[in-house]
Amino acid sequence: MAINSRELEAKHTLYSATTGGGKTTAIQKSAVLRKANRIAIYDPYNAHHKLGRKSVIKTYSLKEFAITLHKLMHQKKPFVVSLCSVYGKKELELLAEIVWQLADGTKELHVVVEELAASVTPRAIDGRVGELWRGGRQFGLVMHALFQRPQDVPKVVTNLSRFKWIGKVDNSSEAEWWSKQIDVPIQDIKDLKGWHYYFKETGKPAIYGKLPGARG
Ligand SMILES: Nc1ncnc2c1ncn2[C@@H]1O[C@H](COP(=O)(O)OP(=O)(O)O)[C@@H](O)[C@H]1O
Ligand SMILES: [Mg+2]
């Protein structure tokens, strides 16, 4: 069971763009994550090897992930641990259960979920996965969701993510959808190239940017 409930700030973040749009790179370059002391990555396609100065401790089964995260949460040392090459709805649900059991309001843990759409259905997430977004904040969880199309993921993720990183979109309907969400004209979103993005914090205007090293 998650312990040490506290009134913590909401910091969940989403990264949405078509494939090659720069989502994984945005995680790699994130100043927040480079500074974070505790990070767990759900990494179906084994995309993360290092994050800032920290090497990623890779695990290849849910059991190994659970044992490793448990050990790391009880040490003082900063860490990045990933679950690689394992994915699906049941798998993400189990990962969520493990994370929930180990969550501790006094030990902020960032949880990065790569390719979320491959492991959820767009209907409201009832089980533990949704709980990470709904109730995780008070137990120190900061969720980072990566996905291509907003219609493929549950509303709880788009509604509860205070920070939104929006990169290159695939089509007009996605541009329209994000336009309403982040108050940026449809055409400006359609014009985004790879690694270029809008970043919006709830209650503030969206900011246009390029990832470091972006072409164009
Ligand atoms: N403007 C750009 N500058 C540099 N690389 C880019 C740019 N646009 C697209 N890319 C390509 O993006 C790929 C990496 O993107 P990635 O972060 O993996 O995207 P995603 O995770 O959204 O699929 C690289 O293969 C790179 O060639
Ligand atoms: Mg990626």
- Indicate whether residue 186 lines ligand 1 (CB < 6 A): no
CB-based contact 190:172 (threshold 8 Å): yes
How many whole angstroms separate alpha carbon 101 and alpha carbon 109? 12
What is the best residue among 23, 25, 48, 193 to mutate for testing ligand 1's pocket, by most ligand atoms within 8 Å of CB? 25
How many whole angstroms separate alpha carbon 3 and alpha carbon 73? 12
How confident is the model over 157-196, as pLDDT tens digits?
Answer: 999 999 999 999 999 999 999 999 999 999 999 999 999 9
Question: Model confidence at 123, in pLDDT bands (50, 70, 90)?
Answer: confident
Q: Tell me the one-letter amino acid at 8.
A: L
40 in helix, strand or coil? strand
The 3-state DSSP composition of the chain as helix, strand, coil percent (nearest 5) reads 35, 25, 40
- Indicate whether residue 170 lines ligand 1 (CB < 6 A): no
Residue 126 has pLDDT above 80, yes or no: no
For residues 120-135, give the mean pLDDT: 88
Predicted local distance difference test score (pLDDT) of residue 124: 67
CB-based contact 65:59 (threshold 8 Å): yes
How confident is the model over 47-89, as pLDDT tens digits?
Answer: 999 999 999 999 999 999 999 999 999 999 999 999 999 999 9
Predicted local distance difference test score (pLDDT) of residue 176: 98
CB-based contact 28:82 (threshold 8 Å): no
Predicted local distance difference test score (pLDDT) of residue 98: 98
The pair phi, psi for residue 210, each rounded to 5°, is: -130, 145
- Indicate whether residue 25 lines ligand 1 (CB < 6 A): yes
DSSP state of 200: E
- Indicate whether residue 44 lines ligand 1 (CB < 6 A): no
How confident is the model over 6-57, as pLDDT tens digits?
Answer: 988 899 999 999 999 999 999 999 999 999 999 999 999 999 999 999 999 9
Atom in ligand 1 nearest the alpha carbon of residue 114: 21
Predicted local distance difference test score (pLDDT) of residue 170: 94
Q: Which residues contact 71 (CB under 8 A, 6 or more apart)?
A: none
Question: Model confidence at 216, in pLDDT bands (50, 70, 90)?
Answer: confident
DSSP state of 195: T
Question: Strand 54-59 to strand 50-51: parallel, antiparallel, or no bridges (unpaired)?
Answer: antiparallel
CB-based contact 81:40 (threshold 8 Å): yes
How many whole angstroms separate alpha carbon 144 and alpha carbon 63? 22
What is the best residue among 114, 195, 196, 215 to mutate for testing ligand 1's pocket, by most ligand atoms within 8 Å of CB? 195
**Ligand minimally distant from the alpha carbon of residue 26:** 1
